[in-house]
A and B are shown apart, each in its own frame.
Chain A
Amino acid sequence: MLVNRKLILAHFWFAFAVFGVALTLGAWQMFIRSPIGTWLSNPELYYRSLTAHGTVMGYVFPTLVAMGFGYAISESALEQRLVGVRWAWAGFWLIVGGSIMAVIPIALGRASVLYTFYPPLIGNLFYYLGVVLVVVGSWIWVALMSINLRVWRKAHPGAPVPLAMFANVAGSYLWAWTAVGAALELLLQIIPVAAGLKATIDAGLARVFFSWTLHAIVYFWLMPTYIAYYTIVPRAIGGRVYSDNMARIAFILFLVVAMPIGMHHTFADPQVGAGFKFVHSAFTALVTLPTFLTVFTICASVEIAARLRGGRGMFGWIRVLPWDNPMMLALAFSFVMLGFGGAGGLINMSYQLDASIHNTQWITGHFHLIFGGAIVIMYFAIAYDLWPHLTGRELNDLRLIRTQLWLWFIGMIVTTFPWHWVGILGMPRRMAYFDFGDPAIAPQALSVTFSAIGGFILLASGILFLVILARGMRAPQAEAGSYRFAVAVHQSATVPVALNTHALWVALMIALTITNYGYPILTLATTEGTSVPAVYVGAQ
């Protein structure tokens, strides 16, 4: 039951439109920095583009996809009209307004601070206010998801919450709490300086606040992907979810352990004690748990589909899977990229191993492979799956869709594998220019060239994606039926209260944030003499 289709379509279209722009900027950046491009002689233009790319890809695009998908889940999984539609539109327009407000100073070269802010760099006030508006808009969505679930619970006392909605609300709570770190950094540290009320900033404390957001935000980006793994893929390929409870455990584990781990981004920072770094490192290791559970459950679910299609043998069933189905293809690509990206992530989170790749292109390769690869390819799949239900028109050029997914997969591998490699060789990240004529880095020129070619393959795939969706708006009308989610092999009539509600896990999430972040934040905030003069972008 999808009633507010316009609302959901608006979220998706704005998300994908800005994604297209940011993707183009990304490809341009790779080109201009590679040996095949001619250096502009102006690093500022590069950082301007990089800031726009990161701000859109980090804050605007995934947030809007999660929101649009969240509204779709709320209406179709709960089978009730969305409560608070006006608020939802208000949230959407806040994000549109915030995005425009943030992008103007970036385009003018007044906020080339990168999306991670990097204090003591300070950009134009309106850039930060724009980001705040985007976050506030998304918090409206968080509240609406909670309210809609509450309304449904009242009407269905004691009934198990549909898995898709349970996971969706878990994702929204995770976002609500993880965004608090960046919000504190912006409101207490950066905005007072950007507004001219202060001239110094505690860069160390600001970095700790940002690490609060920076890691769990990735799991918020990941949520729609995992929801698609569990509740769309098995249905789309004709199988069933292996275990509903296992899925719930995976999502609550994300809620609990995604949060208190962000300091593995600050391993090289002197302002954080080594003990806390170790604790965060250990908890980061725990995040592999829900991912391993998911990989196991989804592989089992896919095997069920294969056996239902007559697959036999230990591995023979893999052959009979519906490989021409875009959803199957997207899942397989996503898992391959998740595997490589996740393995790289294990190196990043290890205190000692990190030292060899910290701040190198390895990191850039890692998060593009995980986010741009494993996560975003499932965003495409979600859009393809939902589109006929949103537009009331068919989306039947499967060959084009498969081509798009293949291109994205190949492009992402060609882009990120050489990035990892040059990172191991020591190439630093966040550099606008490399002089490949220097004999010391000349051997890396070939890898970087490949990487830039990968960027253009990704751009081609992104354009194809937008073309497919746009053509889907004009295709012949067709009734897609009601939007359904996958059901479990054993759909239990009751679910333990702990796996049907979020309160316990939200409480643990907050408790672990306090134990793992409380002391470092408190000492940094109360220690005198830790602030440094702000460095204003564009000021002499």
Chain B
Amino acid sequence: MSARDLFTFRNPHFTRGVGITAAILIVTAIVGFIVLPFAQPWVQFANVWDAICSAAGVPQRLAGVAAPEQAKRLSEVVLTSHTLSRPSQEAIGRGATLAQRCAICHGPTGLSRADSPNLAGQYAAVIYKELHDFRSGARTNAVMSPFAVNLTDQEIADLSDYYAFLPRLPAYHPTPQLPKPSIVIYGAPMRGIAPCGSCHGSLDNKTGSPWLEGQSEAYLKAQLQAFASGERRNDISQQMRNIARAMTPQEIEQAAAYYASQPPDIVKAVD
């Protein structure tokens, strides 16, 4: 009973075991890599090797097909949850100086009275992305774009760090807090709409998504409508456009009114 007696072609168990296994493997490989690829009438293969490579999943680049020219610029910002996660005191200080020119719309404390977004305590990654998109033209706004177009990378990072550093304060929208509408906490699964709250606060927050509590109702509504019409298109992989297009006008109003009525999450402002 040694390995010598086992692993020898004189041992019928060895011969049969290995033989049957190999035969099954060869037959299934022939069917899977040659027969089935050719059985697909809608695919043309140059030769058998081409079919085998296709079935094996060999990565191929399609030659001579250029990416279609984009009519409008898309966002090129890459965000991870580490983006600007550890700001220095100097960066925040530089950002504070730069932010003076933003104050006319976004408020000296980062709270807007002009239906512009409140920036105090907004996630750094969010401000970073929007400023980059305004600068590159992926997002455009008659008022905002001229401010962003001359910013350097360093200035964008500093501004983002500064606004993220500011404490979150209650906004100037003193409406009574509304109950959570269905679109915010449940979404509309049958229309492929995830709950607003699963990315933008109230349930959870995700990288790259702004928290929305206390933002201006008019602003939120305008952005959702802009996403729905395709006028705004700096959302990665059309995430927001797909959602906004599927929302009813009533749901857009409910979501905007709900978020505008919420106080910001004060606890999070200190971390």
Question: Contact residues of A with B, CB < 8 Å?
Answer: 39, 41-44, 157-158, 199, 256, 271-279, 282-283, 286, 431, 433-435, 438, 440-441, 496-501, 503-505, 507-508, 511-512, 515, 519-520, 523, 527, 533-536, 539-540
Pairwise interchain contact B57-A276, C-beta atoms closer than 8 A: yes
Among B1-9, B89-97, B102-110, B216-224, the stretch in contact with A: B1-9
- On chain A, the residues within 8 Å of B14 by CB distance are 498, 504
With A503-B3, A540-B205 given, is the CB distance from A520 to B24 under 8 Å? Answer: no
B178 at the interface (CB under 8 A from A): no
Q: Which A residue's beta carbon lies closest to that of B51?
A: A275
- On chain A, the residues within 8 Å of B7 by CB distance are 503-504, 507
Give bound CA distance, A497 to B204, whole Å. Answer: 60
Per-residue contact bits, chain B 192-207, to A (CB 8 Å; 1 contact, 0 not) = 0000001000011111
- On chain B, the residues within 8 Å of A507 by CB distance are 7
Pairwise interchain contact B80-A533, C-beta atoms closer than 8 A: yes
Pairwise interchain contact B57-A271, C-beta atoms closer than 8 A: yes
- On chain B, the residues within 8 Å of A274 by CB distance are 32, 36-37, 54-55, 57
- On chain A, the residues within 8 Å of B55 by CB distance are 273-276, 278
Pairwise interchain contact B58-A273, C-beta atoms closer than 8 A: yes
Shortest A246–chain B CB gap in Å is 15
B31 at the interface (CB under 8 A from A): yes
Pairwise interchain contact B78-A504, C-beta atoms closer than 8 A: no
Question: What is the size, in residues, of chain B's interface with A at 8 Å between Cβ atoms?
Answer: 47
- On chain A, the residues within 8 Å of B28 by CB distance are 278-279, 282-283
- On chain B, the residues within 8 Å of A497 by CB distance are 1, 5-6, 11, 13
Pairwise interchain contact A435-B182, C-beta atoms closer than 8 A: yes
Give bound CA distance, A323 to B155, whole Å. Answer: 80
Among B131-139, B166-174, B183-191, the stretch in contact with A: B183-191
Q: Which A residue's beta carbon lies closest to that of B29?
A: A279
Pairwise interchain contact A533-B52, C-beta atoms closer than 8 A: no
21 residue pairs of the A-B complex, CB under 8 angstroms, read: A41-B180, A41-B203, A158-B1, A272-B57, A274-B32, A274-B57, A275-B32, A278-B32, A434-B189, A438-B188, A441-B189, A497-B11, A498-B14, A503-B3, A503-B7, A504-B7, A523-B56, A523-B57, A536-B81, A540-B123, A540-B207
Pairwise interchain contact A520-B17, C-beta atoms closer than 8 A: no
Q: Which A residue's beta carbon lies closest to that of B271?
A: A540
Question: Contact residues of B with A, CB < 8 Å?
Answer: 1, 3, 5-7, 11, 13-14, 17-18, 21, 24-25, 28-29, 31-33, 36-37, 52, 54-59, 78-82, 123, 125, 180, 182, 185-186, 188-190, 198, 203-207
Pairwise interchain contact B203-A279, C-beta atoms closer than 8 A: no
Shortest A281–chain B CB gap in Å is 8
- On chain A, the residues within 8 Å of B36 by CB distance are 274-275, 278
Q: Which A residue's beta carbon lies closest to that of B28?
A: A282
With A273-B58, A498-B13 given, is the CB distance from A533 to B78 under 8 Å? Answer: yes
Give bound CA distance, A498 to B9, whole Å. Answer: 12
Question: When the two chains form the complex, which single residue of B1, B29, B31, B58 contacts A501, counting CB atoms closer than 8 Å?
Answer: B1
- On chain A, the residues within 8 Å of B3 by CB distance are 503
With A273-B54, A286-B24, A440-B190 given, is the CB distance from A278 to B31 under 8 Å? Answer: yes
Give bound CA distance, A222 to B202, whole Å. Answer: 43
- On chain B, the residues within 8 Å of A533 by CB distance are 78-80
Q: Which B residue's beta carbon lies closest to that of A252?
A: B17
- On chain B, the residues within 8 Å of A508 by CB distance are 17-18, 21
Pairwise interchain contact A276-B56, C-beta atoms closer than 8 A: yes
Q: Which A residue's beta carbon lies closest to that of B209?
A: A540
Pairwise interchain contact B204-A501, C-beta atoms closer than 8 A: no
Shortest B265–chain A CB gap in Å is 11
- On chain B, the residues within 8 Å of A44 by CB distance are 203-204
Shortest B46–chain A CB gap in Å is 17
Pairwise interchain contact B207-A535, C-beta atoms closer than 8 A: yes
Give bound CA distance, A535 to B236, whole Å. Answer: 15
Shortest B3–chain A CB gap in Å is 6
> In this complex, which of A276, A499, A505 has the most chain B Cβ atoms within 10 angstroms of its Cβ?
A276
Give bound CA distance, A507 to B18, whole Å. Answer: 10
Pairwise interchain contact B21-A256, C-beta atoms closer than 8 A: yes
- On chain B, the residues within 8 Å of A286 by CB distance are 24
Pairwise interchain contact B17-A498, C-beta atoms closer than 8 A: yes
Give bound CA distance, A501 to B25, whole Å. Answer: 23
Q: Which A residue's beta carbon lies closest to that of B184?
A: A41
- On chain B, the residues within 8 Å of A505 by CB distance are 17
Shortest A162–chain B CB gap in Å is 16
Pairwise interchain contact B185-A41, C-beta atoms closer than 8 A: yes
Pairwise interchain contact A438-B6, C-beta atoms closer than 8 A: no
With A273-B57, A501-B6 given, is the CB distance from A433 to B186 under 8 Å? Answer: yes
Shortest B133–chain A CB gap in Å is 18
With A279-B28, A498-B6, A503-B6 given, is the CB distance from A527 to B123 under 8 Å? Answer: no
- On chain A, the residues within 8 Å of B21 by CB distance are 256, 508, 511-512
Give bound CA distance, A278 to B180, whole Å. Answer: 48
> In this complex, which of A286, A431, A435 has the most chain B Cβ atoms within 10 angstroms of its Cβ?
A435
Question: When the two chains form the complex, which single residue of A39, A157, A504, A519 contacts B17, counting CB atoms closer than 8 Å?
Answer: A504
With A508-B17, A512-B21, A540-B207 given, is the CB distance from A523 to B182 under 8 Å? Answer: no
Give bound CA distance, A44 to B32, whole Å. Answer: 42
Shortest B126–chain A CB gap in Å is 9
With A158-B1, A434-B189, A501-B1 given, is the CB distance from A275 to B81 under 8 Å? Answer: no
- On chain B, the residues within 8 Å of A41 by CB distance are 180, 185, 203
Pairwise interchain contact B80-A275, C-beta atoms closer than 8 A: no
> In this complex, which of B13, B14, B180 has the most chain A Cβ atoms within 10 angstroms of its Cβ?
B13
List 5 A-B pairs, minimum CB-CB distance, nearest first: A273-B57, A275-B55, A498-B13, A278-B32, A539-B81
Pairwise interchain contact A504-B205, C-beta atoms closer than 8 A: no
Q: Which B residue's beta carbon lies closest to that of A271?
A: B57
- On chain A, the residues within 8 Å of B82 by CB distance are 199
Give bound CA distance, A540 to B14, whole Å. Answer: 58
Pairwise interchain contact A504-B6, C-beta atoms closer than 8 A: yes
Pairwise interchain contact B81-A540, C-beta atoms closer than 8 A: yes
